[in-house]
Structure 1
């Protein structure tokens, strides 16, 4: 490795690949070090422990999702269409990256230890809430509506991940469900 920055980036890249191929449970510092031909000391120069490493992966995932949402917002659609597009992007991310999605949302990351990660996660919530404030034509407060949307989209992702998206239940078309759900939010 050329320098510490390269080593850290390579650690993140290999960790991401291992998560994609074998799941989060397969990650351990010893195997990562062996795979990259790094000593234990070199590994711990970059990350204090496995949680620190995984927190960096999660922060990167939120940053990627935030960039996607920012790009969608720059296209300038009206608020309802923008919220629809954001929810669909969120859903697609969860379905396309199930291991990463679970790592992001099935663990409560400590606000004191990982403030940037928590702030990055909150950006999405705040962005949707801001869209709803601009819309002005919603049935509940922007905060309540955003919280309800979070519960809805996470539930939809979880149903799909657990293979409970049966046609007979009307759960086979996420785009249609998101659109119908927004009918309940917007006036």
Structure 2
């Protein structure tokens, strides 16, 4: 289910409806204009209704970020699972999906990674959701090490190094710095694959480098 998926509101769906309404508002207007009152209006409920689930705006943002991380991990995970027998293809597919997520949802990506939320003090559920995204990278790296195609180095080192490159590319594209190279989604995919394949050469064992 997309974070922007809208279904008719009924009793018991208030929290989900508010998160969906707020997520859509963030992508349209950014974080500055977001308030619980505006979210309530967009969701079609009373201005006091959000307080049944969220203490304040920061609490709502944490819930939105959690759903965003879950969606990112789900989409990248599905891309990786299409290539269960090939860690290299897993790496490229999941990485490109990560880049596409950032390009398709730039303001959501900013909420997740732009320092809006202090992850040191974030709710436990949000920390777990963000960690799951990184664990997907670690899983792919471990698959490659077990298959004997990735360098036999600390998994954390390899995951942080590659993730930094992938994330940096997503940020550059979203920020408009590569507009000539990534004007369309197809160009984004092509550029993403090229960069990811170059990153991949850095973690392949010497006899597997092309």
TM-score per shorter chain, which class? Answer: 0.7 to 0.9
Distance 1:73 1:159 in 2: 23
Asked whether the 8 Å contact 1:109–1:118 carries over to 2, the reply is no
1:52 to 59, 69, 88: 59
Structure 2 vs 1, CA of residues 87 and 161 (structure 1 numbering), >3 Å: closer, same or farther?
same
Distance 1:113 1:147 in 2: 21
Cα distance, 1:112 vs structure 2: 4.9
Deviations 1:118-164 (A, max 9, x none): 11111121122122122123344221110011211121112112222
Matched residue SS, 1:90: helix
Unmatched runs of 5 consecutive residues or more in structure 1: none
2:10 to 2, 9, 30: 2
Matched residue SS, 1:25: coil
Distance 2:144 2:167 in 1: 23
Q: What residue in structure 2 maps to residue 68 of structure 1?
A: 75
Q: What residue in structure 1 maps to residue 185 of structure 2?
A: none
Structure 2 vs 1, CA of residues 70 and 173 (structure 1 numbering), >3 Å: closer, same or farther?
closer
Cα distance, 1:113 vs structure 2: 4.2
Q: What residue in structure 1 maps to residue 156 of structure 2?
A: 143
Structure 2 vs 1, CA of residues 58 and 50 (structure 1 numbering), >3 Å: closer, same or farther?
same
Q: TM-score, normalised by structure 2?
A: 0.78
Asked whether the 8 Å contact 2:40–2:50 carries over to 1, the reply is yes
Cα distance, 1:42 vs structure 2: 2.1
Structure 2 vs 1, CA of residues 154 and 74 (structure 1 numbering), >3 Å: closer, same or farther?
closer
Q: What residue in structure 1 maps to residue 202 of structure 2?
A: 184
Distance 1:148 1:25 in 2: 32
Unmatched runs of 5 consecutive residues or more in structure 2: 1-8, 182-187, 206-210
